[in-house]
Amino acid sequence: MMNWYALYVKSNHEFVAHDELSKKSIEAFLPTARKMRQWKDRRKWVDFPIFPGYLFIHVHPSPEDFLNVLKTRGAISLLSAQPGYPTPVATEEIVSLKLLVGSGEPLDIYPHLKEGTRVRVKRGPLQGAEGILERKENQCTFLVNIELLGRSIGVKMYADDLEEA
């Protein structure tokens, strides 16, 4: 059975590693956000990795597949809680992350998220995504947490679009 894993890559090599993995027919997911960049002579929309230095790969948990991934240009290591054994990322986290990124909503990144109420989106473009609810001054933020990276991304939502998971 194939699992998702977090791949740590060299600084500013997220897109390079993603392209190289695609050439090897390895499914890779690089969550990005579009931001306006300003130079002296022009302004331009540019895609930035949401989790700098990381991307996600979908492979069989075999030494051969792991080695093939690690031989990719820009790759450094697979994240693991136990040395020598890459730790899978929960499929639900990847599915919810893909829904959030694909929604086109403006995203904020929340480092070191603390435990909150687990919620599911009932309607709208993010329907079915599961995450954590955070409230600040009458405003709700729906967060998708990637525990292995210790980071989260969030989008502001109406509380009545959410239900307890």
* Tens digits of residue pLDDT in 87-130: 999 999 999 999 999 988 877 665 443 447 788 888 888 899 99
DSSP calls for 77-116: EE--SBTTBPPEEPHHHHHHHHHHHHT----EEEESPPP-
Structure-model confidence comparison of residues 147 and 49, the more confident one: 49
pTM of the model: 0.74
Structure-model confidence comparison of residues 112 and 7, the more confident one: 7
At 61 the pLDDT is 95
The rounded distance, in Å, linking the Cα atoms of 147 and 29 is 16
Domains of the chain: 3-89 (3.30.70.940), 92-164 (2.30.30.30)
| CB-based contact 80:86 (threshold 8 Å) | yes
| CB-based contact 36:45 (threshold 8 Å) | yes
Q: Is the backbone of residue 138 left (phi > 0), alpha (psi -120 to 50) or beta?
A: left
Provide the token pair at 135. Answer: 């409230």
The rounded distance, in Å, linking the Cα atoms of 87 and 4 is 9
Q: What is the mean pLDDT of residues 47-74?
A: 95
| CB-based contact 60:16 (threshold 8 Å) | no
Q: What is the mean pLDDT of the chain?
A: 88
The rounded distance, in Å, linking the Cα atoms of 91 and 148 is 12
Residue 111: CB partners within 8 Å, gap ≥ 6? Answer: 150, 151, 152
Task: Using the predicted structure, report yes or no on whether residue 142 has a pLDDT greater than 60.
Answer: yes
